[in-house]
Amino acid sequence: RFSLGYFGCLNNADPEQSKKELLALLQKPQVQNDYKVLNDARSHLGAVYVNQSLFDEGLEVFATVFQSAKSQNDFYRMSLAKMNEGIIYRKRSVFGSSMEAYIEGLQFAREAKNDALIATILQNMGSLANSMEKFDQALVYLRESLEIHTRTKNERGIAGALANIGISLKLMGQTDSAIKNYDMAAQRFKQLGDK
> How many residues in the chain?
195
- Residue 4: its pLDDT value, please? 58
- Residue 15: its pLDDT value, please? 85
Q: What is the pLDDT of residues 10-29, one digit of tens each?
A: 777 888 888 998 999 899 99
- Residue 3: its pLDDT value, please? 62
- Residue 8: its pLDDT value, please? 73
- Residue 11: its pLDDT value, please? 74
Note the pTM of the prediction, 2 decimals: 0.90
Nearest to 137 by CA among 178, 106, 116, 168: 168
How would you write the pLDDT of the chain (195 residues) with one tens digit per residue?
456 567 777 777 888 888 998 999 899 999 899 999 999 999 999 999 999 999 999 999 999 999 999 999 999 999 999 999 999 999 999 999 999 999 999 999 999 999 999 999 999 999 999 999 999 999 999 999 999 999 999 999 999 999 999 999 999 999 999 999 999 999 999 999 999
**CA 68 remoteness from chain centre:** 19
Give the chain's mean pLDDT: 94
Q: How far is CA 107 from CA 16, 72, 73, 125, 153, in A?
A: 33, 17, 13, 13, 23
Kindly write down the DSSP assignment for every residue of the chain, as one continuous string.
---HHHHHHHHHH-HHHHHHHHHHHHT-HHHHT-HHHHHHHHHHHHHHHHHTT-HHHHHHHHHHHHHHHHHTT-HHHHHHHHHHHHHHHHHTT-HHHHHHHHHHHHHHHHHHT-HHHHHHHHHHHHHHHHHTT-HHHHHHHHHHHHHHHHHTT-HHHHHHHHHHHHHHHHHTT-HHHHHHHHHHHHHHHHHTT--
